[in-house]
Copies of this chain bind each other. A is one copy, B any other.
């Protein structure tokens, strides 16, 4: 594959990712959740299963603890998460989603599904699944970083 093709592939990937972020965000807003930025969605993704500490979150987002702490503080203020004492570690605090936070997470899932459905309309369901499995097989495990 030539360099120019690699560049075209990269551009397509990055443009698609940017648009997806935009659409999910718009969908979340349209469902009535305001005062959130796309970055919060990535935080929710980490908090969703069982909560996480600020340090976990910082690692997941690829930012400093301080930045993650500020982000949590903002989400607490807006009612999406709450801090609970950590069961095993008196220094740490477990950040968990509130019911509002869960509702917002479901809204994000619906928005993502809407966006993905638009692609499926173009590609077809089978091609869509192929795209899915390919992307998953090359997706990294590390922190989720902004596309730029």
Q: Interface residues, chain A, CB within 8 Å of chain B?
A: 1-22, 24, 37-39, 41-42, 45, 106, 108-110, 112-113, 115-117, 119-120, 122-123, 125, 127-132, 134-140, 142, 144-148
Contacts and interface: CB of A to CB of B under 8 A. Distances in A.
Residue from the set A10, A137, A146 with the largest chain B CB neighbour count within 10 Å: A10
Copies of this chain, how many? 2
Contacts of A135: 9, 12-13, 16, 131
B148 A146 contact: yes
B20 A10 contact: yes
Contacts of A37: 148
Contacts of A115: 6, 10
